[in-house]
Structure 1
Amino acid sequence: MRWVTYDAGDGERVGLLDGDGNGDTVRGLPAGTTLLGFLGDDGERLAEAGARARSDPAEVRALDDVRLLAPIPRPPSVRDGLCFLEHLRGCYRALGRSTELAPVWTETPAFYFGNPAAVIGPYDDVPIAPGSGLFDLELEIGAVIGRGGRDLPPDSAEGHLVGYTFFNDWTARDHQMRDMAQGIGMGKAKDSAITLGPALVTVDELEPHRAEQGFTFEVTATVNDRRIATGSLAGMDWSFGELLAFLSRGTDLRPGDVIGSGTVPGGCLLEHVDTADPAAFTGWLQPGDVVSLASEALGETRQVVRPAPPVTRLRTGF
Protein backbone atom coordinates (compact mmCIF):
# COMPACT_ATOMS: atom_id res chain seq x y z
CA MET A 1 0.00 0.00 0.00
CA ARG A 2 1.04 3.59 -0.64
CA TRP A 3 -0.45 5.89 1.99
CA VAL A 4 -0.59 9.67 1.62
CA THR A 5 -1.69 12.58 3.77
CA TYR A 6 -3.25 15.30 1.65
CA ASP A 7 -5.27 18.50 1.60
CA ALA A 8 -7.90 19.04 -1.09
CA GLY A 9 -8.97 22.41 0.29
CA ASP A 10 -11.05 21.21 3.23
CA GLY A 11 -8.34 20.18 5.68
CA GLU A 12 -5.89 17.38 6.23
CA ARG A 13 -6.99 13.85 5.31
CA VAL A 14 -5.38 10.45 4.77
CA GLY A 15 -5.86 8.18 1.80
CA LEU A 16 -4.56 5.36 -0.31
CA LEU A 17 -2.76 6.15 -3.55
CA ASP A 18 -4.21 4.16 -6.43
CA GLY A 19 -2.88 3.92 -9.97
CA ASP A 20 0.19 3.23 -12.04
CA GLY A 21 1.58 6.76 -12.32
CA ASN A 22 -0.78 7.85 -15.10
CA GLY A 23 -4.00 9.36 -13.82
CA ASP A 24 -3.39 8.34 -10.21
CA THR A 25 -6.18 8.86 -7.71
CA VAL A 26 -6.37 9.19 -3.94
CA ARG A 27 -8.99 7.08 -2.18
CA GLY A 28 -9.61 9.16 0.91
CA LEU A 29 -10.85 8.10 4.35
CA PRO A 30 -13.26 10.21 6.45
CA ALA A 31 -12.13 13.57 7.80
CA GLY A 32 -10.43 13.32 11.16
CA THR A 33 -8.55 10.09 10.43
CA THR A 34 -4.76 10.17 10.42
CA LEU A 35 -2.10 7.72 9.38
CA LEU A 36 -0.60 7.93 12.85
CA GLY A 37 -3.94 6.76 14.27
CA PHE A 38 -3.69 3.47 12.37
CA LEU A 39 -0.29 2.55 13.81
CA GLY A 40 0.65 0.83 17.06
CA ASP A 41 -0.24 -2.83 16.46
CA ASP A 42 1.01 -5.55 14.12
CA GLY A 43 -0.59 -3.86 11.12
CA GLU A 44 -4.20 -4.95 11.52
CA ARG A 45 -5.65 -1.43 11.78
CA LEU A 46 -3.73 -0.21 8.76
CA ALA A 47 -4.77 -3.25 6.72
CA GLU A 48 -8.42 -2.70 7.68
CA ALA A 49 -8.15 0.99 6.75
CA GLY A 50 -6.66 0.01 3.39
CA ALA A 51 -9.53 -2.39 2.72
CA ARG A 52 -12.03 0.41 3.55
CA ALA A 53 -10.24 2.86 1.28
CA ARG A 54 -10.42 0.39 -1.60
CA SER A 55 -14.02 -0.75 -1.16
CA ASP A 56 -15.79 2.23 0.41
CA PRO A 57 -13.74 5.44 0.28
CA ALA A 58 -15.17 8.64 1.72
CA GLU A 59 -13.97 10.42 -1.43
CA VAL A 60 -11.95 9.74 -4.56
CA ARG A 61 -9.89 12.57 -5.98
CA ALA A 62 -7.41 12.89 -8.80
CA LEU A 63 -3.88 13.12 -7.43
CA ASP A 64 -3.33 16.31 -9.44
CA ASP A 65 -6.21 17.95 -7.55
CA VAL A 66 -4.77 17.56 -4.05
CA ARG A 67 -1.76 18.87 -2.20
CA LEU A 68 0.34 16.09 -0.74
CA LEU A 69 1.67 16.70 2.77
CA ALA A 70 4.29 14.64 4.59
CA PRO A 71 2.78 11.16 5.20
CA ILE A 72 3.34 11.70 8.94
CA PRO A 73 3.10 15.51 9.15
CA ARG A 74 3.93 15.67 12.87
CA PRO A 75 6.08 12.67 13.85
CA PRO A 76 6.47 12.01 17.59
CA SER A 77 10.22 12.16 17.00
CA VAL A 78 12.77 12.24 14.19
CA ARG A 79 16.16 10.55 14.34
CA ASP A 80 18.64 10.41 11.50
CA GLY A 81 21.29 7.69 11.35
CA LEU A 82 24.54 7.48 9.46
CA CYS A 83 24.33 4.02 7.92
CA PHE A 84 26.58 4.66 4.89
CA LEU A 85 30.17 5.18 5.98
CA GLU A 86 31.16 5.89 2.38
CA HIS A 87 29.12 9.10 2.64
CA LEU A 88 31.25 10.12 5.60
CA ARG A 89 34.43 9.32 3.69
CA GLY A 90 33.15 11.38 0.77
CA CYS A 91 32.55 14.37 3.03
CA TYR A 92 35.99 13.99 4.61
CA ARG A 93 37.56 13.78 1.13
CA ALA A 94 35.79 16.98 0.06
CA LEU A 95 37.09 18.74 3.17
CA GLY A 96 40.65 17.58 2.56
CA ARG A 97 40.66 15.25 5.54
CA SER A 98 41.92 11.68 5.78
CA THR A 99 39.27 9.15 4.78
CA GLU A 100 40.52 6.61 7.33
CA LEU A 101 37.73 6.37 9.91
CA ALA A 102 38.27 6.04 13.62
CA PRO A 103 37.15 2.69 15.16
CA VAL A 104 34.20 4.39 16.90
CA TRP A 105 32.34 4.57 13.56
CA THR A 106 32.20 0.77 13.32
CA GLU A 107 31.36 0.15 16.96
CA THR A 108 27.84 1.65 16.99
CA PRO A 109 25.71 3.52 14.47
CA ALA A 110 25.82 7.30 14.70
CA PHE A 111 22.62 9.37 14.79
CA TYR A 112 21.21 12.74 15.76
CA PHE A 113 17.76 13.98 16.79
CA GLY A 114 15.92 15.98 14.13
CA ASN A 115 13.24 18.62 14.52
CA PRO A 116 9.67 17.29 14.04
CA ALA A 117 8.44 20.89 13.62
CA ALA A 118 10.65 21.21 10.53
CA VAL A 119 8.85 18.43 8.60
CA ILE A 120 7.42 19.57 5.25
CA GLY A 121 5.71 17.91 2.32
CA PRO A 122 7.21 16.50 -0.89
CA TYR A 123 6.31 19.47 -3.11
CA ASP A 124 6.59 22.32 -0.62
CA ASP A 125 8.99 25.17 -1.30
CA VAL A 126 12.15 25.10 0.82
CA PRO A 127 13.57 28.40 2.11
CA ILE A 128 17.33 28.43 2.57
CA ALA A 129 18.24 28.34 6.26
CA PRO A 130 18.58 31.90 7.60
CA GLY A 131 22.13 33.17 7.24
CA SER A 132 23.36 30.20 5.20
CA GLY A 133 25.41 30.50 2.03
CA LEU A 134 26.19 26.76 1.77
CA PHE A 135 22.77 25.12 1.57
CA ASP A 136 22.70 21.43 0.65
CA LEU A 137 20.34 18.52 0.00
CA GLU A 138 20.54 14.96 1.37
CA LEU A 139 19.35 11.83 -0.46
CA GLU A 140 18.02 9.54 2.29
CA ILE A 141 15.28 7.02 3.03
CA GLY A 142 13.10 7.36 6.11
CA ALA A 143 11.79 4.30 7.96
CA VAL A 144 8.58 4.73 9.99
CA ILE A 145 7.93 2.85 13.24
CA GLY A 146 4.62 0.99 13.13
CA ARG A 147 4.82 -0.90 16.42
CA GLY A 148 6.74 0.62 19.29
CA GLY A 149 9.34 -1.14 21.39
CA ARG A 150 12.37 -0.89 23.62
CA ASP A 151 15.70 -2.78 23.69
CA LEU A 152 14.92 -4.39 20.34
CA PRO A 153 17.12 -7.26 19.09
CA PRO A 154 18.89 -6.38 15.82
CA ASP A 155 17.70 -9.53 14.05
CA SER A 156 14.00 -8.75 14.59
CA ALA A 157 13.87 -4.96 15.01
CA GLU A 158 12.88 -4.33 11.39
CA GLY A 159 9.61 -6.11 12.17
CA HIS A 160 8.61 -2.95 14.03
CA LEU A 161 8.68 -0.88 10.82
CA VAL A 162 5.49 -0.17 8.90
CA GLY A 163 7.06 1.34 5.78
CA TYR A 164 9.46 3.72 4.09
CA THR A 165 9.47 7.16 2.48
CA PHE A 166 11.97 9.68 1.15
CA PHE A 167 13.82 11.72 3.78
CA ASN A 168 15.72 14.90 2.89
CA ASP A 169 17.28 16.65 5.89
CA TRP A 170 18.33 19.85 4.15
CA THR A 171 21.68 20.99 5.56
CA ALA A 172 23.28 24.40 6.05
CA ARG A 173 26.94 23.38 5.73
CA ASP A 174 28.27 26.67 7.11
CA HIS A 175 26.07 26.31 10.20
CA GLN A 176 27.22 22.70 10.46
CA MET A 177 30.83 23.84 10.79
CA ARG A 178 29.87 25.91 13.82
CA ASP A 179 27.83 23.04 15.28
CA MET A 180 30.80 20.70 14.93
CA ALA A 181 33.17 23.24 16.48
CA GLN A 182 30.88 23.54 19.50
CA GLY A 183 30.92 19.75 19.77
CA ILE A 184 27.47 18.94 21.18
CA GLY A 185 25.82 17.66 18.01
CA MET A 186 23.71 18.94 15.14
CA GLY A 187 21.97 22.26 15.85
CA LYS A 188 20.97 24.94 13.35
CA ALA A 189 22.61 23.01 10.52
CA LYS A 190 19.67 20.61 10.36
CA ASP A 191 16.91 22.74 11.87
CA SER A 192 15.23 24.43 8.91
CA ALA A 193 13.51 21.67 6.89
CA ILE A 194 13.05 17.90 6.65
CA THR A 195 11.16 16.61 3.63
CA LEU A 196 9.11 13.42 3.95
CA GLY A 197 7.09 11.84 1.16
CA PRO A 198 5.46 11.60 -1.21
CA ALA A 199 3.94 8.42 0.26
CA LEU A 200 4.48 5.94 3.05
CA VAL A 201 5.16 2.72 1.11
CA THR A 202 4.40 -0.28 3.29
CA VAL A 203 7.03 -2.92 3.92
CA ASP A 204 5.18 -5.64 1.98
CA GLU A 205 5.33 -3.52 -1.20
CA LEU A 206 9.13 -3.43 -1.00
CA GLU A 207 9.82 -7.07 -0.11
CA PRO A 208 10.67 -8.02 -3.74
CA HIS A 209 13.60 -5.57 -3.50
CA ARG A 210 15.03 -6.83 -0.22
CA ALA A 211 18.77 -7.45 -0.01
CA GLU A 212 20.92 -8.83 2.80
CA GLN A 213 21.43 -5.25 4.01
CA GLY A 214 18.64 -2.89 2.97
CA PHE A 215 16.88 -2.87 -0.41
CA THR A 216 18.00 -2.90 -4.04
CA PHE A 217 15.54 -0.39 -5.53
CA GLU A 218 17.32 2.58 -7.10
CA VAL A 219 17.06 6.12 -5.75
CA THR A 220 18.30 9.29 -7.44
CA ALA A 221 18.81 12.95 -6.57
CA THR A 222 18.74 15.76 -9.13
CA VAL A 223 19.21 19.52 -9.05
CA ASN A 224 17.53 21.32 -11.97
CA ASP A 225 17.12 17.87 -13.57
CA ARG A 226 20.90 17.29 -13.44
CA ARG A 227 21.64 14.00 -11.71
CA ILE A 228 23.72 14.34 -8.55
CA ALA A 229 23.64 10.76 -7.30
CA THR A 230 22.20 7.31 -7.88
CA GLY A 231 22.28 4.51 -5.35
CA SER A 232 20.29 2.12 -3.19
CA LEU A 233 20.05 0.86 0.37
CA ALA A 234 21.82 -2.37 -0.55
CA GLY A 235 25.23 -1.07 0.53
CA MET A 236 24.38 0.00 4.08
CA ASP A 237 27.18 -0.49 6.59
CA TRP A 238 24.57 -0.54 9.37
CA SER A 239 21.23 -2.22 8.62
CA PHE A 240 17.97 -0.68 9.78
CA GLY A 241 17.68 -3.58 12.23
CA GLU A 242 21.03 -2.70 13.81
CA LEU A 243 20.17 1.00 13.85
CA LEU A 244 16.79 0.39 15.51
CA ALA A 245 18.37 -1.92 18.09
CA PHE A 246 20.82 0.82 19.06
CA LEU A 247 18.22 3.60 19.03
CA SER A 248 15.86 1.59 21.25
CA ARG A 249 18.53 0.73 23.81
CA GLY A 250 17.14 1.90 27.13
CA THR A 251 14.37 3.97 25.57
CA ASP A 252 11.08 3.62 23.70
CA LEU A 253 10.56 3.91 19.97
CA ARG A 254 6.98 5.03 19.38
CA PRO A 255 4.55 4.47 16.50
CA GLY A 256 5.09 7.17 13.90
CA ASP A 257 8.72 7.88 14.83
CA VAL A 258 10.74 8.53 11.67
CA ILE A 259 14.26 7.12 11.35
CA GLY A 260 16.55 8.33 8.54
CA SER A 261 19.01 6.03 6.81
CA GLY A 262 21.73 8.62 6.47
CA THR A 263 22.84 9.90 3.09
CA VAL A 264 23.25 7.51 0.18
CA PRO A 265 26.89 7.90 -0.98
CA GLY A 266 27.21 10.86 -3.33
CA GLY A 267 23.75 12.11 -2.39
CA CYS A 268 24.70 15.62 -1.31
CA LEU A 269 26.53 18.53 -2.92
CA LEU A 270 29.33 18.50 -0.34
CA GLU A 271 30.62 15.16 -1.60
CA HIS A 272 31.12 16.66 -5.07
CA VAL A 273 33.11 19.74 -4.09
CA ASP A 274 36.46 18.06 -4.81
CA THR A 275 35.44 16.13 -7.93
CA ALA A 276 37.69 16.14 -10.96
CA ASP A 277 34.63 16.82 -13.11
CA PRO A 278 33.75 20.53 -12.80
CA ALA A 279 30.23 19.84 -14.10
CA ALA A 280 29.50 17.64 -11.08
CA PHE A 281 29.56 20.59 -8.68
CA THR A 282 28.00 23.82 -9.90
CA GLY A 283 27.69 25.51 -6.53
CA TRP A 284 25.50 25.37 -3.46
CA LEU A 285 21.72 25.54 -3.71
CA GLN A 286 20.35 28.91 -4.80
CA PRO A 287 16.83 30.40 -4.92
CA GLY A 288 14.96 28.96 -7.88
CA ASP A 289 16.81 25.63 -7.91
CA VAL A 290 14.56 22.58 -8.24
CA VAL A 291 15.59 19.57 -6.15
CA SER A 292 14.10 16.13 -6.72
CA LEU A 293 14.48 12.73 -5.08
CA ALA A 294 13.03 9.91 -7.16
CA SER A 295 12.53 6.15 -7.22
CA GLU A 296 10.13 3.79 -8.96
CA ALA A 297 9.54 2.20 -5.57
CA LEU A 298 8.98 5.35 -3.49
CA GLY A 299 7.75 7.99 -5.96
CA GLU A 300 9.21 11.47 -6.37
CA THR A 301 9.67 14.64 -4.37
CA ARG A 302 10.11 17.89 -6.28
CA GLN A 303 10.78 21.16 -4.46
CA VAL A 304 11.80 24.70 -5.29
CA VAL A 305 14.47 26.39 -3.19
CA ARG A 306 13.46 29.87 -2.00
CA PRO A 307 15.43 32.79 -0.53
CA ALA A 308 16.33 32.65 3.13
CA PRO A 309 14.26 34.70 5.56
CA PRO A 310 16.16 37.50 7.28
CA VAL A 311 18.34 36.65 10.28
CA THR A 312 17.35 37.91 13.69
CA ARG A 313 20.82 38.79 15.02
CA LEU A 314 22.20 38.08 18.48
CA ARG A 315 24.09 40.73 20.45
CA THR A 316 27.34 39.08 19.23
CA GLY A 317 26.41 39.83 15.64
CA PHE A 318 25.53 36.24 14.69
Structure 2
Amino acid sequence: MDTYAVAGHDNQVAWPSYSNWIDYELELVAVIGRAGRDISQDDANSHIFGYTILNDLSARDEQLKCMATSLGPAKGKDFEQSNVMGPCIVTADEIADPYALKVEVRVNDEVWSTSTGAEAHFRYNQCIAYASQAQTIHAGEMFSTGTFPNCSSLELQRIVKKGDVIELEVEKVGVLRTQIV
Protein backbone atom coordinates (compact mmCIF):
# COMPACT_ATOMS: atom_id res chain seq x y z
CA MET A 1 0.00 0.00 0.00
CA ASP A 2 1.31 3.43 -0.96
CA THR A 3 1.31 5.33 2.34
CA TYR A 4 1.08 8.61 0.42
CA ALA A 5 -2.21 7.44 -1.10
CA VAL A 6 -3.97 7.11 2.28
CA ALA A 7 -7.05 9.14 3.18
CA GLY A 8 -9.24 9.20 6.27
CA HIS A 9 -12.89 8.90 7.22
CA ASP A 10 -15.38 11.37 5.76
CA ASN A 11 -12.96 12.43 3.04
CA GLN A 12 -13.65 13.45 -0.53
CA VAL A 13 -11.57 11.51 -3.04
CA ALA A 14 -10.98 12.97 -6.49
CA TRP A 15 -11.83 10.76 -9.44
CA PRO A 16 -8.53 10.20 -11.30
CA SER A 17 -8.53 11.96 -14.68
CA TYR A 18 -7.28 8.86 -16.54
CA SER A 19 -10.18 6.63 -15.46
CA ASN A 20 -13.83 6.20 -16.40
CA TRP A 21 -14.60 3.42 -13.89
CA ILE A 22 -14.10 3.79 -10.13
CA ASP A 23 -14.86 0.94 -7.77
CA TYR A 24 -14.77 0.43 -4.00
CA GLU A 25 -13.64 -2.65 -2.07
CA LEU A 26 -14.63 -3.22 1.57
CA GLU A 27 -11.75 -4.77 3.51
CA LEU A 28 -10.92 -5.20 7.19
CA VAL A 29 -7.30 -4.43 7.98
CA ALA A 30 -5.31 -5.90 10.87
CA VAL A 31 -2.89 -3.35 12.33
CA ILE A 32 0.32 -4.81 13.73
CA GLY A 33 1.13 -3.77 17.30
CA ARG A 34 4.25 -5.82 18.02
CA ALA A 35 7.21 -6.36 15.71
CA GLY A 36 8.45 -9.83 14.89
CA ARG A 37 10.36 -12.00 12.47
CA ASP A 38 9.75 -15.61 11.44
CA ILE A 39 6.42 -15.55 13.28
CA SER A 40 4.54 -18.84 13.43
CA GLN A 41 0.88 -19.03 12.42
CA ASP A 42 0.09 -20.03 16.00
CA ASP A 43 1.68 -16.84 17.36
CA ALA A 44 0.73 -14.44 14.56
CA ASN A 45 -2.55 -13.13 15.96
CA SER A 46 -0.76 -12.02 19.15
CA HIS A 47 1.04 -9.43 16.99
CA ILE A 48 -2.25 -7.78 15.96
CA PHE A 49 -3.00 -4.54 17.82
CA GLY A 50 -6.41 -3.98 16.27
CA TYR A 51 -8.59 -3.62 13.21
CA THR A 52 -9.83 -0.83 10.97
CA ILE A 53 -11.85 -0.55 7.76
CA LEU A 54 -10.21 -0.07 4.36
CA ASN A 55 -11.95 1.22 1.26
CA ASP A 56 -9.45 -0.03 -1.33
CA LEU A 57 -10.54 2.15 -4.25
CA SER A 58 -9.78 1.01 -7.79
CA ALA A 59 -9.66 2.64 -11.21
CA ARG A 60 -10.91 -0.58 -12.79
CA ASP A 61 -10.39 0.35 -16.45
CA GLU A 62 -6.78 1.31 -15.78
CA GLN A 63 -6.27 -1.77 -13.61
CA LEU A 64 -7.51 -4.07 -16.38
CA LYS A 65 -5.28 -2.34 -18.93
CA CYS A 66 -2.19 -2.70 -16.72
CA MET A 67 -2.98 -6.30 -15.79
CA ALA A 68 -3.24 -7.22 -19.49
CA THR A 69 0.37 -6.10 -19.97
CA SER A 70 1.60 -8.05 -16.90
CA LEU A 71 2.49 -4.81 -15.09
CA GLY A 72 0.26 -5.60 -12.13
CA PRO A 73 -2.53 -3.27 -11.04
CA ALA A 74 -0.23 -0.17 -10.98
CA LYS A 75 -2.21 3.08 -11.38
CA GLY A 76 -5.45 1.13 -11.18
CA LYS A 77 -4.88 0.62 -7.45
CA ASP A 78 -2.45 3.42 -6.63
CA PHE A 79 -3.82 6.91 -7.08
CA GLU A 80 -4.15 9.87 -4.76
CA GLN A 81 -6.21 8.95 -1.67
CA SER A 82 -7.09 5.52 -3.09
CA ASN A 83 -6.63 3.82 0.30
CA VAL A 84 -9.31 5.23 2.59
CA MET A 85 -9.13 4.01 6.21
CA GLY A 86 -11.00 4.57 9.43
CA PRO A 87 -13.03 5.67 11.23
CA CYS A 88 -10.99 4.23 14.13
CA ILE A 89 -8.86 1.29 15.19
CA VAL A 90 -10.68 -1.19 17.41
CA THR A 91 -8.32 -3.22 19.61
CA ALA A 92 -8.00 -6.92 18.87
CA ASP A 93 -9.37 -7.93 22.29
CA GLU A 94 -12.71 -6.34 21.34
CA ILE A 95 -13.16 -8.61 18.31
CA ALA A 96 -13.18 -12.32 19.11
CA ASP A 97 -13.62 -13.47 15.50
CA PRO A 98 -12.96 -10.94 12.72
CA TYR A 99 -14.30 -13.40 10.11
CA ALA A 100 -17.74 -13.49 11.76
CA LEU A 101 -18.29 -9.73 11.63
CA LYS A 102 -21.28 -8.57 9.60
CA VAL A 103 -20.56 -5.92 6.98
CA GLU A 104 -22.75 -3.69 4.85
CA VAL A 105 -22.11 -1.47 1.83
CA ARG A 106 -24.32 1.56 1.21
CA VAL A 107 -24.11 3.97 -1.70
CA ASN A 108 -26.13 7.18 -1.27
CA ASP A 109 -27.92 5.54 1.70
CA GLU A 110 -29.06 2.56 -0.43
CA VAL A 111 -27.89 -0.87 0.77
CA TRP A 112 -25.92 -2.48 -2.07
CA SER A 113 -24.65 -5.56 -0.24
CA THR A 114 -24.15 -7.38 3.05
CA SER A 115 -21.62 -10.07 3.87
CA THR A 116 -19.21 -11.56 6.41
CA GLY A 117 -15.57 -12.55 6.27
CA ALA A 118 -16.38 -16.23 6.69
CA GLU A 119 -15.27 -17.00 3.13
CA ALA A 120 -11.91 -15.19 3.31
CA HIS A 121 -9.35 -17.03 1.19
CA PHE A 122 -6.60 -16.37 3.74
CA ARG A 123 -6.52 -15.69 7.47
CA TYR A 124 -4.54 -12.92 9.15
CA ASN A 125 -2.28 -15.41 10.90
CA GLN A 126 -1.36 -16.95 7.53
CA CYS A 127 -0.58 -13.54 6.00
CA ILE A 128 1.51 -12.43 8.98
CA ALA A 129 3.45 -15.71 9.16
CA TYR A 130 4.18 -15.60 5.44
CA ALA A 131 5.22 -11.92 5.37
CA SER A 132 7.50 -12.33 8.39
CA GLN A 133 9.56 -15.17 6.89
CA ALA A 134 13.18 -13.93 7.05
CA GLN A 135 11.85 -10.37 7.38
CA THR A 136 10.81 -8.23 10.33
CA ILE A 137 7.30 -6.83 10.36
CA HIS A 138 6.87 -3.65 12.38
CA ALA A 139 4.22 -2.03 14.54
CA GLY A 140 1.95 0.04 12.33
CA GLU A 141 2.12 -2.26 9.33
CA MET A 142 -1.26 -3.43 8.06
CA PHE A 143 -2.53 -6.69 6.60
CA SER A 144 -5.76 -7.37 4.75
CA THR A 145 -7.22 -10.70 3.75
CA GLY A 146 -8.88 -9.04 0.75
CA THR A 147 -12.31 -7.81 -0.20
CA PHE A 148 -15.33 -9.25 1.62
CA PRO A 149 -17.52 -11.33 -0.74
CA ASN A 150 -19.90 -9.18 -2.83
CA CYS A 151 -18.41 -5.99 -1.40
CA SER A 152 -17.25 -4.29 -4.59
CA SER A 153 -19.42 -2.77 -7.31
CA LEU A 154 -17.61 -4.95 -9.87
CA GLU A 155 -19.04 -8.09 -8.26
CA LEU A 156 -22.49 -6.52 -8.14
CA GLN A 157 -22.32 -5.17 -11.72
CA ARG A 158 -23.21 -1.70 -10.45
CA ILE A 159 -21.60 1.63 -11.25
CA VAL A 160 -20.25 4.27 -8.86
CA LYS A 161 -20.67 7.84 -10.14
CA LYS A 162 -19.09 11.19 -9.29
CA GLY A 163 -20.78 12.63 -6.23
CA ASP A 164 -21.69 9.23 -4.77
CA VAL A 165 -21.22 8.72 -1.04
CA ILE A 166 -19.94 5.24 -0.19
CA GLU A 167 -20.43 3.93 3.35
CA LEU A 168 -18.67 0.76 4.41
CA GLU A 169 -19.90 -0.57 7.75
CA VAL A 170 -18.21 -3.29 9.76
CA GLU A 171 -19.87 -4.57 12.91
CA LYS A 172 -18.02 -3.45 16.08
CA VAL A 173 -15.72 -1.14 14.06
CA GLY A 174 -18.03 1.52 12.65
CA VAL A 175 -18.81 3.22 9.34
CA LEU A 176 -16.19 4.50 6.89
CA ARG A 177 -17.65 7.22 4.66
CA THR A 178 -16.10 8.41 1.39
CA GLN A 179 -17.44 10.73 -1.29
CA ILE A 180 -16.15 10.43 -4.85
CA VAL A 181 -15.79 13.88 -6.44
TM range (shorter): over 0.9
Q: How does 1:138-157 map to 2 (within 5 A)?
A: 138-157=25-44
CA contact (8 A) 1:218 1:230 kept: yes
Do structure 1's residue 299 and structure 2's residue 174 form an aligned pair?
Answer: yes
User: Relative contact order: is structure 1 or structure 2 higher (C-alpha 8 Å, sep ≥ 6)?
Assistant: 2
- d(CA) in 1 for partners of 2:17, 2:49: 35
TM-score by length of 1: 0.54
Is the partner of 1:195 in helix, strand or coil? strand
Do structure 1's residue 239 and structure 2's residue 128 form an aligned pair?
Answer: no
Q: Which amino acid aligns with 2:129?
A: A
Instruction: Flag the structure with higher strand content.
Output: 2
Q: Decide whether aligned partners of structure 1 residues 248 and 186 sit closer, same or farther in structure 2, where only a CA change above 3 A counts.
A: farther
Is the partner of 2:95 in helix, strand or coil? helix
Do structure 1's residue 174 and structure 2's residue 58 form an aligned pair?
Answer: no
CA contact (8 A) 1:228 1:266 kept: no
Q: Which amino acid aligns with 1:255?
A: A
Q: Which amino acid aligns with 1:150?
A: R
Find 2:75's aligned residue among 188, 212, 225: 188
- d(CA) in 2 for partners of 1:298, 1:127: 25
The residue aligned with 2:104 is 220
- Tell me the number of residue pairs that the alignment of Structure 1 and Structure 2 aligns: 179
- d(CA) in 2 for partners of 1:242, 1:224: 36
Q: Show structure 2 runs of 5+ residues with no match.
A: none
Q: How does 1:5-84 map to 2 (within 5 A)?
A: none
Deviations 1:275-312 (A, max 9, x none): xxxxxx2x2x2211010011330111112110xxxxxx
Q: How does 1:226-265 map to 2 (within 5 A)?
A: 226-265=110-149
Measured on the aligned residues, the alpha-carbon RMSD in Å equals 1.3
Aligned residues with identical type, % of pairs:
35
TM-score by length of 2: 0.93
Q: Show structure 1 runs of 5+ residues with no match.
A: 1-113, 274-280, 307-318
Larger Rg: 1
Do structure 1's residue 199 and structure 2's residue 83 form an aligned pair?
Answer: no
